[in-house]
Structure 1
Amino acid sequence: MRVFGIAGSSGMGKTTLLEKLIPVLTARGLVVSLIKHSHKAIEIDRPGKDSYRLREAGCQEVLLLGLERWALMHELRGAEEPDLDYLIDRIQNCDLVLVEGFKGGEFPKLEIWRASEGRAPLHPVWPGIIGFACDAPVPGGDALTQIALDQVEAIADFVQKRAVLR
């Protein structure tokens, strides 16, 4: 299993790029999984549903199985967020785990950056950023690879070559 990160400030288009990148990688025969870190209190279950009610009743984990997918929900209940290694251990065998977020992680990352958003890049503050997918030259990013956002095949090549073995 190899690991590679996608970084960028909110609104830079990380999910938009991932929606284009993942089909390219899977067309190359890779089994791809994704771990996304959010700073928001996410809710993937719905109030009133059995799984929600049982989780609210105190279950630490609820595994929900349906006809087309299954999901494991784990309640932190005040505990610290688990580290990335712990979460990767829960991913089924695959070729590539893409990681969105986890700014402190020491794994290679591609930063998504758009000049039109008017924000400074995360590089060099975030560790592991080794390149940019961008819509214009990145200020202070001259030493790193810069790939145009619309060059998805080139971005896929970059990710495949630089993903690290776990």
Structure 2
Amino acid sequence: MKVVAFAGYSGSGKTTLVEQLIGCMRMRGLRVSVVKHAHHNFDIDKPGKDSWRHREAGAFEVLVASNQRLVLQRQFEQPAQLSVHHLLAEVYDGVDWVLVEGFKKSDLLKVEVWRKASEQPVRYPEDDFVVAIATDSPQDLPEVTQRPVLDLNDAYAITEWLVANEDRFEYNPPLL
């Protein structure tokens, strides 16, 4: 499987871009998974549902499956610091691409998502894992770069670039 991360500050457009890339890749017949970093406590279950009740009762894991969906929810007894590689190990190995949203400090190859309007600094001058920049303001990049500069508003072109360079993104998991 191929893995690429999309890194940028909140409000830069990462989620919108990843959502559009999923559609573009699916139109090419590719199977896509997403790994997303959450900064805080979150819940995907609804109070009162059986799976919520099992988790509330103390189950370490609750796996819910139907003929259309499978969800695994794990409740850590102590806070756990999982790396992106731990999460990638959980992804079904039959996917073509995994799009990782967040994990900007990871050692994954990444596309930096940057908007001038965000007034946030860029990461690419200090991050050797940034292989391209997706922006709506290429003329406003604060530092010259030899990396490809991609149009943030053209998910089709970004998909084309990813697929054309797919060998770079082949995932070789580290020993955990």
Query: TM-score of the superposition, structure 2-length normalised?
Result: 0.86
The answer to whether the Cα contact below 8 Å between 2:18 and 2:101 also exists between their aligned partners in 1 is no
Which consecutive residues of structure 2, in runs of 5 or more, have no partner in the other structure?
none
The answer to whether the Cα contact below 8 Å between 2:132 and 2:149 also exists between their aligned partners in 1 is yes
1:158 to partner: Cα distance: 2.4
CA distance in 2 between counterparts of 1:94 and 1:29 reads 11
Deviations 1:26-53 (A, max 9, x none): 2112111110011121111112211111
The answer to whether the Cα contact below 8 Å between 1:63 and 1:71 also exists between their aligned partners in 2 is yes
1:77 to partner: Cα distance: 2.3
Q: Residue 150 of structure 1 aligns with which residue?
A: 153
Instruction: Read off the aligned partner of 1:58 and give its amino acid letter.
Output: G
The answer to whether the Cα contact below 8 Å between 2:36 and 2:100 also exists between their aligned partners in 1 is yes
1:1-166 pair list within 5 angstroms = 1-92=1-92, 93-137=94-138, 138-160=141-163, 161=165, 162-166=168-172
Taking every aligned residue pair, what percent have the same amino acid on both sides?
A: 37
1:122 to partner: Cα distance: 2.7
Deviations 1:73-127 (A, max 9, x none): 0112224232222222221121111111122321210011111111112323445
1:129 to partner: Cα distance: 1.1
CA distance in 1 between counterparts of 2:162 and 2:23 reads 13
Pairwise CA RMSD of aligned residues?
1.7
1:136 to partner: Cα distance: 0.6
CA distance in 2 between counterparts of 1:77 and 1:10 reads 29
